[in-house]
Amino acid sequence: MSRLTIEASTPLCLLQDAGRFGVRHLGVTQGGALDWRSMSWANWLLGNGLDAPVIEITLGGFTVVAQEDCVLALAGADLGAQVDGEALAPWRSFRLNKGQQLKFTQPLLGARSYLAAPGGFDAPEVLGSSATVVREELGGLDGMGRALANDAPLSYSGSSLLLLRELAPEQVPNFKLNAPLDLVLGAQIGEFSGQSLFDAFNSAWTLDSRADRMGMRLLGTALQYQGKPMISEGIPLGAVQVPPDGQPIVLLNDRQTIGGYPRLGALTPLALARLAQCLPGTKVRLKPVVQDVAHREQVEYLRRFLRR
């Protein structure tokens, strides 16, 4: 067993994996990495299962020290990572020798970085997952849903006798891409006014600072719902709810399991991964797509991992 020690952390640094499934009927949310693409690539670089537990580092402020020589991998945002003061770019595996310090400073490009270890970080599974959901007190290093804390040990059992790997430039997701976010239209789409539908898909939305792992609020022209009051129903990942103030909210991994606000639809998984790397104040646009198109794009993306 190899080990790292956390020297500095914040409440936004969490142990995550792909999340919990099959438990929403119990009122338990999904959890898991917000940017599943970056989590998957971090694990791929080490030959792990794509859903192995990783550290999700949001906005920086995280530091670990190696207790033994090791090989780790980093993918996702450029949070100014440094090894003993020397810059470390993401999208690669790297060696960290005993006593060396890995530090994440501040966002340079993107919002969330993912640190992987051989075999995945050790943590107990709660309801089939190690994903940390602080609100529900589930997952994490001790199974109690706590954020990573100073002086806590991070252990893993995989071998560090690995060749170093790096993603080719064409494989790296483009966080500067300003393409619209694909949205699969929902059941209530026809209950919004015609002007609201035009505004929803032809105007820029600004990401509000009121954002967390439950959801991100979009600021822009207020949307008007004209349908009847709804009975609460299940909420999928990426659902775009429109509360009475008309400002949409994109619901993320730690969302509630049911809700009664009307929905424009739901962002696709690939769109959600891009959104997870956007900072408050970012301008985004929405693009309507049909489910078949979104499904084909998702399957094709996942097949890329099988070809490498």
| 278/87 Cα distance (integer angstroms) | 22
- Predicted local confidence at residue 308, as pLDDT: 58
Phi first, then psi, for residue 103 (nearest 5°) are -125, 135
Beta bridge partners of 219: 206
CATH of the domain at 224: 2.40.100.10
Domain boundary among 171, 205, 230: 171
Side-chain-side CA neighbours of 33 within 13 Å: the count stands at 34
Question: Can you give the pLDDT of all 308 residues of the chain as single tens digits?
Answer: 779 999 999 999 999 999 999 999 999 999 999 999 999 999 999 999 999 999 999 999 999 999 999 999 999 999 999 999 999 999 999 999 999 999 999 999 999 999 999 999 999 999 999 999 999 999 999 999 999 999 999 999 998 888 999 999 988 999 988 889 999 999 999 999 999 999 999 999 999 998 999 999 999 999 999 999 999 999 999 999 999 999 999 999 999 999 999 999 999 999 999 999 999 999 999 999 999 988 998 998 888 776 65
Quick one: 167 and 185 in the same domain?
no
Range of the domain at 132: 2-171
Which one of 142, 171, 200 terminates a domain? Answer: 171
CA proximity to 95, closest of 154, 34, 165, 158: 165
Is the same domain home to 219 and 163? no
176 domain-assigned: no
Count of domains observed in the chain = 2
Do 93 and 192 lie in one domain? The reply is no
Question: Distance (Å, rounded) from C-alpha 306 to C-alpha 44?
Answer: 10
Together in a domain, 81 and 226: no
Residues 94 and 150 in one domain: yes
Tell me, yes or no, whether 204 and 70 share the same domain: no
Residues 146 and 251 grouped into a single domain: no
Q: Is the pTM of this model over 0.75?
A: yes
